[in-house]
């Protein structure tokens, strides 16, 4: 059985006075992600992602590092890859022309030979991790794309209709049953760690807007679990959208500093987009955050059908991480379509789930995701622009992959 794609999240402190130079290097690579300048003979630091055969998605971003000082920053690197971590790091090193130009700006980096130990020291474990297709690799997805394009080309040229051979990976409850079996163990472990009250409250909050599923509808009816009434019929959003982002509440933070010549959010360049959000957790509710994350992770790993997270069919990969010793929540997602449609779909399909995830973060609107304009402002104010974003199959949507698998 194919091993599910793995995720890597690295947070490395940037050396004082190195942020500007590092951002310039990353931006230049991000602006030429396909390596056209390199092919034209222009020499500069470059990561030849197009040579990779195992990286699904990758990004670099620069975050504030408030725990180390008001003017300090840190480098975020995230990737989704096939195979082992050692093989991934070897490949990443081999396709990077100048490791020191990037990682040399970080504290603790001593050279390419010690890159694995540096990554190990800076890596963060996800609290919840969702994979749309657990048994698809970069190779299998790109092979299906090539086969579909060849078939379409033959048809366009008057040839016979070509049916792509099935890869035999149609999803079913029978196939999901083995990975669903340990869900009871997940539940017991989470109750022991976070307490029954936090587990019950967090799970109930997620399920309140999921009456479209018979099992959850019965649970909500028995427990009288429902979406709470609005505190106000008016949005709490300040209408001046031109105002710069600032902390939304006491204890809140803006996760990154504006940079001159910023590439903005690198959205809508291809069929896929990326989202990186950092929020500050109310320390009084850390156990509830961990319980909610455990519920999401268990569902994503044990029960979610291929290509769908509670009915949302635009997410390739998503992960949540509780970082900085429980002080902050990091969300990293690779998805299809526009930012607006992505958040709208989340709000439509799992409204109270959004509240369960973020209502323990400072700055969340009083009515949570039900006040959608204010919730979008909350996400935008905590979003971190990526200086570099790579997608191995940039025009392939989740629905495309699902269609290819069903052929």
Report residue 209 as tokens: 């807007």
Extract the runs of DSSP E, i.e. beta strands, from 87-134: 128-131
| Residues whose CB falls within 8 Å of the CB of residue 205, separated by 6 or more in sequence, listed in order | 292, 352, 353, 355, 356
* Dihedral, CA of residue 205, residue 209, residue 211 and residue 214, to nearest 10: -50
CB 334 within 8 A of CB 57: yes
- The pLDDT, as a whole number, for residue 246 is 75
What structural domains and CATH numbers belong to the chain?
Answer: 6-125 (3.30.70), 179-384 (no CATH)
Count of C-beta atoms within a 10 Å radius of residue 403 = 14
Euclidean distance between CA atoms 35 and 23, whole angstroms:
18
**Distance between CA 283 and CA 290 in Å, rounded?**
11
Query: pTM of this prediction?
Result: 0.86
- Segment 62-109, tens digit of pLDDT: 999 999 988 899 999 999 999 999 999 999 999 999 999 999 999 999
Helix axes 372-381, 339-349, angle to 10 degrees: 130
The predicted-structure confidence for 26-63, as pLDDT tens digits, reads as follows: 999 988 888 776 655 567 889 999 999 999 999 999 99
Q: Provide the terminal-to-terminal Cα distance of the chain, rounded to the nearest Å.
A: 20
CA proximity to 376, closest of 339, 401, 407, 322: 339
The neighbouring-strand residues paired with 272 are 336
User: Tokens for 39?
Assistant: 């092919």
Span 150-193, pLDDT tens digits: 766 666 566 555 454 445 455 555 555 666 666 777 777 887 78
331 or 177, greater pLDDT = 331
Tell me whether strands 128-131 and 315-323 are parallel, antiparallel or unpaired: antiparallel
| Residue 212 pLDDT > 70 | yes
In the block, residue with structure tokens 């096939």: 82
Cα–Cα nearest to 52, from 7, 91, 97: 91
CB distance 72 to 65 below 8 Å: yes
Whether the pLDDT of residue 324 is over 90: the answer is: yes
């Amino acid at each position: 059985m194919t091993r599910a794609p793995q995720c890597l999240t690295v947070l490395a402190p940037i050396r004082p006075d190195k942020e500007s130079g590092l951002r310039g290097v990353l931006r230049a690579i991000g602006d030429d992600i396909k390596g056209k300048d390199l092919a034209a003979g222009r020499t500069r630091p470059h990561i030849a992602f197009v040579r990779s055969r195992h990286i699904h998605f990758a990004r670099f971003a620069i975050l504030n590092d408030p725990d180390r000082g008001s003017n300090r920053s840190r480098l975020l690197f995230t990737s989704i890859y096939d195979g082992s971590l050692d093989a991934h790091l070897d490949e990443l090193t081999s396709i990077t022309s100048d490791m020191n130009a990037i990682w040399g700006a970080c504290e603790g980096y001593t050279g390419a030979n010690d890159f694995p130990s540096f990554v190990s020291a800076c890596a963060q474990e996800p609290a919840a991790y969702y994979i749309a297709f657990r048994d698809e690799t970069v190779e299998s997805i790109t092979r299906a794309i090539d086969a579909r394009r060849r078939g379409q080309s033959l048809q366009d040229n008057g040839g016979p209709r070509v049916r792509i051979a099935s890869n035999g990976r149609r999803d079913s409850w029978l196939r999901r049953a083995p990975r669903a079996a340990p869900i009871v163990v997940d539940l017991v472990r989470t109750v022991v760690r976070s307490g029954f009250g936090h587990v019950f409250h967090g799970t109930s909050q997620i399920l309140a807007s999921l009456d479209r599923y018979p099992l959850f509808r019965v649970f909500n009816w028995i427990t009288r679990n429902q979406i709470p009434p609005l505190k106000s019929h008016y949005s709490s959003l300040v209408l001046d959208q031109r105002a710069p982002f600032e902390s939304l509440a006491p204890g809140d933070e803006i996760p990154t500093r504006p940079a001159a010549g910023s590439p903005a959010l690198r959205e809508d360049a291809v069929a896929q987009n990326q989202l990186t959000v950092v929020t500050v957790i109310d320390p009084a509710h850390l156990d509830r955050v961990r319980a909610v994350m455990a519920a999401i992770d268990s569902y994503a790993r044990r029960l979610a059908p291929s290509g769908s997270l509670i009915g949302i069919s635009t997410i390739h990969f998503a992960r949540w991480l509780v970082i900085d010793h429980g002080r902050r929540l990091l969300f990293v997602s690779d998805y299809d379509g526009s930012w607006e449609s992505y958040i709208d779909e989340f709000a439509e399909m799992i409204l109270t789930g959004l509240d369960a995830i973020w209502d323990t973060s400072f700055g969340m609107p009083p009515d949570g995701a039900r006040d959608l304009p204010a919730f979008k402002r909350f996400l935008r104010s905590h979003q971190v622009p990526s200086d570099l974003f790579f997608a191995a199959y940039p025009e392939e949507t989740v629905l495309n992959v699902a269609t290819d698998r069903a052929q």
